[in-house]
Amino acid sequence: MALSAAEGKLTVITGPSGVGKGSLVKQLLELHPEIWLSISATTREARQGEIEGDHYFFLNRDRFAELVQAGGCLEWAEFAGNRYGTPRQPVEQQLSLGRPVLLEIELEGARQVRRSFPEAFQIFLAPPSFEELERRIRGRATDPEEAIQRRLARAREELMAQQEFDAVVINDNLQVAVIELESLMGLSC
């Protein structure tokens, strides 16, 4: 089912793992609590410190498949060996209430949203260089080496797709990137 044009504005942020999407979104939400951030479902194991229903809804593969089967995902994709999806109902509800809604999702999901909801504004967050991206992924120290390798390989593919997006923001200095994002989303500072 395609989303109807709702009053709230839907923004998608995509970018390679480790580029700083989480850091940027956290700052944006602190500055603009009116924004509603979608909490995704995933089959990935929770990282240390991640809270169910706060960072993600952690589901096993069967439960995730049931959710998809029931049409409960606005989009979903496989990323680095795990599945991730945006629960549809809360997004539709928040948009109908007129709230700005933010999705932080990977490339395939962004492409699906582009098809089902072309009015959404899509932003690609890019690193200043690939070397810096690798430094950040490793510096975060949350993933095993094999997962890091998969994420770096996927990052190369994602970086090649940045021209598909409505805007590209380079996350060199985080504060500058936040200001650019605010401007692109039409948020008053």
139 lies in the binding site for ligand ADP (CB under 6 A): yes
Q: Which residue has the tokens 């995704």?
A: 40
How many whole angstroms separate alpha carbon 78 and alpha carbon 101?
23
Burial of 79 (0-12, 13-18, 19+ CB in 10 A): buried
How many CA atoms are closer than 13 Å to the CA of 59, on its beta-carbon side? 18
Q: Which stretch binds ligand 5GP (CB under 6 A): 26-34, 98-106, 165-173, 180-188?
A: 98-106
Give me the torsion for CA of 10, 14, 18, 24, rounded to 10°: -30
Q: Which stretch binds ligand ADP (CB under 6 A): 59-67, 77-85, 115-123, 134-142?
A: 134-142
Q: Which residue has the tokens 């932003």?
A: 123
Q: Which of 109, 117, 125, 177 binds ligand 5GP (CB under 6 A)?
A: 109
Q: Which does 100 bind (CB under 5 to 8 A by kind): ligand 5GP, ligand ADP, none?
A: none
Per-residue three-class SS string for 135-155: HHHHHHCCCCHHHHHHHHHHH
Q: Which stretch binds ligand 5GP (CB under 6 A): 23-31, 73-81, 117-125, 167-175?
A: 73-81
42 lies in the binding site for ligand ADP (CB under 6 A): no
Question: Which residues of the shown chain bind ligand ADP in the complex (CB under 6 A)?
Answer: 15, 17-23, 136, 139-140, 171, 173-174
Question: Which residues of the shown chain bind ligand 5GP in the complex (CB under 6 A)?
Answer: 17, 21, 40, 44, 75-77, 79, 84-86, 104-106, 108-109
